[in-house]
């Protein structure tokens, strides 16, 4: 099948493009960044454009894809607190242009949206379920929730076929070490592994949260499992709506450090820092809704996530 992936040069979009190609699909990528070297040639066609530009929208319509997987967007909580205008413009206004184009010109195409656990804010219940109240505590989370609401009402009014995936902490790297996070990524596993690789001190943001060990607790999901979930929903009939993508297990930041030290055989130097604005103490989820829809999409453990990410750093960095 012909599938368009926006943000195909990025971490998650790139992995989705890679696994779509592995599955035999024709992948067309759009990104405002050129693909990194490991992704060159993955897309049969690549457009170097902002996904909401007139050129990109016309190109999308001309391609007549069976699905549009929308991964492009600004994706960090911290920067969104400092510059919300950028997040609402990039994540909401531009996404609406793309959604309207798909609705009007590609009514048979499935629209798959990369949403986020940040839509929950500080959840009223842990683990979070899709029916729970969402009260984002960052412009990033708010922007993702706004697009979810647009898609919901477009489905109600126009019958638009969509799936919105709320990613919990995406991590790891391609199991064959073909793709992984770019240098300087802000996610904790990437930061811990880079610190271990470079023999640098890691700053642990927040050790006084109301959790068992004082550090944030999150639900981690392998980026390859996320990619498999996308392949599954474009290959079969899936009810329109919002779905959690998670591991159904909460892991603290301290546990991440311990697992990384065990897998790499190295000791991490840790400095204690302050809490980051917009970070809830605990954010875990239940993926039963999607698990009942698609079986076998998730296969990797936390150790796999860390091991695959470490393999990527070993391959990419000459210091190791």
**C-alpha closest to that of 66 among 123, 1, 19:** 1
Structure tokens that stand for 118 in this block = 């940040």
Distance CA 138, CA 22 (A): 36
Structure tokens that stand for 218 in this block = 């999150």
Instruction: List, in order, residues 6 or more apart from 246 with CB less than 8 Å away.
Output: 117, 127, 168, 219, 221, 284, 285, 286, 287
Nearest 5°: phi and psi at 90? -75, -45
- 112: DSSP letter: E
| Cα atoms found within 13 Å of the Cα of residue 112, Cβ hemisphere only | 29
Distance CA 282, CA 285 (A): 10
Choosing from 140, 162, 243, 300, the catalytic residue is: 140
Helices (H), the chain: 11-22, 54-63, 77-82, 84-87, 94-105, 139-158, 188-198, 223-235, 253-264, 288-293, 302-316
Give catalytic status of residue 167 as yes or no.
no
Distance CA 286, CA 186 (A): 25
Catalytic amino acids? 140
């Amino acid at each position: 099948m012909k599938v368009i992936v926006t943000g195909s040069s990025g971490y998650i979009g790139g992995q989705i493009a890679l696994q779509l190609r592995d599955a035999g699909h024709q992948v067309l990528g759009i990104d405002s960044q050129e693909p990194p070297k490991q992704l060159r040639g993955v897309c049969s066609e690549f457009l170097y454009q902002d996904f909401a530009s007139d050129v990109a929208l016309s190109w999308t319509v001309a391609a007549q894809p069976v699905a549009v997987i929308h991964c492009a967007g600004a994706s960090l909580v911290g920067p969104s607190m400092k510059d919300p205008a950028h997040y609402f413009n990039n994540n909401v206004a531009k996404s609406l242009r793309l959604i309207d184009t798909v609705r009007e010109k590609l009514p048979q195409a499935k629209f798959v949206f990369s949403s986020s656990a940040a839509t929950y804010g500080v959840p009223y219940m842990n683990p979070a379920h899709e029916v729970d109240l969402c009260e984002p505590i960052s412009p990033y989370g708010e922007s993702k929730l706004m697009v979810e609401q647009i898609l919901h009402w477009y489905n109600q009014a126009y019958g638009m076929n969509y799936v919105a995936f709320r990613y919990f902490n995406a991590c790891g790297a391609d199991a064959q070490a073909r793709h992984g996070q770019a240098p300087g990524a802000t996610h904790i596993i990437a930061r811990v592994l880079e610190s271990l690789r470079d023999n640098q001190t890691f700053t642990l943001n927040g050790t006084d949260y109301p959790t068992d060990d004082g550090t944030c607790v999150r639900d981690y999901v392998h980026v390859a499992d996320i990619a498999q979930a996308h392949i599954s929903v474009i290959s079969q009939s899936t009810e329109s709506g919002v779905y959690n993508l998670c591991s159904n297990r909460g892991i603290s930041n301290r546990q991440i450090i311990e697992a990384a030290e065990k897998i790499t055989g190295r000791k991490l130097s840790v400095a204690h820092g302050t809490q980051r604005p917009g970070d809830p103490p605990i954010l875990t989820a239940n993926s039963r809704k999607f698990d009942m829809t698609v079986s076998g999409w998730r296969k990797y453990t936390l150790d796999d996530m860390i091991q695959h990410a470490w393999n990527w750093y070993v391959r990419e960095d000459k210091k190791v």
